[in-house]
Amino acid sequence: MAGTGMFDLSGRVAFVTGGNGGIGLGMAKAFAENGAQVAIIGRNKSKLNTAKAELVKIAGEDNVIAVQCDVTDKDSVESSIEQVVDKYGRLDILVNNAGVNRRADEPHLLKPEDWQYVIDVNLTSIHTVTSAAFPHMKNGGRGKIINIGSMMSIFGTAYAVAYAASKGGVVQYTKSCAVAWAKYNVQVNAVLPGWIVTEMTDQFKTAFPDRYAMIVGRTPADRWGQPSDLGGTAVFLASSASDFVTGVSIPVDGGYSVW
């Protein structure tokens, strides 16, 4: 399939971490629907195979690759990028989506190892993956980097201090890279999802019914989001439509952060 006009991603190669489910897979599907060749990256091989099968239905076998990778391991990251470049000859779009959360009732109760794990996956890995991907974009004369932050990039939360800190860092990292790499025609932006139904949140309604109702009540769109709700923003930021857009963070939250 192919996109239309400035949103056409034909001939472009996208590399999506955490692309085997949730928001990452939603974005990968949108890229495939608009003509891109798509590489999905994840740790869980079974989930990768399932996600790849979904993408193959959209884009065809030759236009999808699934690579098992631990984004906290530099060697694993570099190997996965080389596999994709070896197959397709280039790398045009990077989505840094892989993320985790560890909770405690209050900040001082979060275990040090849980803090470090969240920072390593949500923030440090973005630098690792981006540093490995960027030279291919520079050599190709263009690139689009999309970092996945959160509504927690905008405001904090008592029970997810490491998550909020990591996602705040994503926004500042995005701005720094945008300033550094504009001269290479590489645009770097962030997407800040709100409450989206994914594996990370799908038990929320049952476990916390009162809070679930509060979230829906605060959201002007009057619902939780779906991974597909991120697709349009991802295609915009990955396409030539956003060539003069860099260093911005776009909330996709049904209006939750407006209040």
Within a 13 Å sphere around the CA of 84, how many CA atoms are in the beta-carbon half? 31
Backbone φ, ψ for residue 76 (5° rounding) = -65, -40
Closest by CA position to 121, among listed 99, 102, 104: 99
Q: Using N-to-C axis directions, what is the helix angle for 125-140 and 161-181, rounded to 10°?
A: 20
CA distance 78 to 57: 28
SS3 189: strand
Is residue 80 packed enough to be buried (19+ CB in 10 Å), middle (13-18) or exposed (0-12)? buried
Q: Are 67 and 89 in contact (CB under 8 A)?
A: no
Catalytic residue among 163, 173, 184, 212: 163
**Ramachandran class of 191: left when φ > 0, alpha when ψ lies in -120 to 50, beta otherwise:** beta
Token pair 């979060």 is at which residue?
110
Is 256 noted as a catalytic residue in this protein? Answer: no
CA distance 29 to 23: 10
Catalytic residues: 163
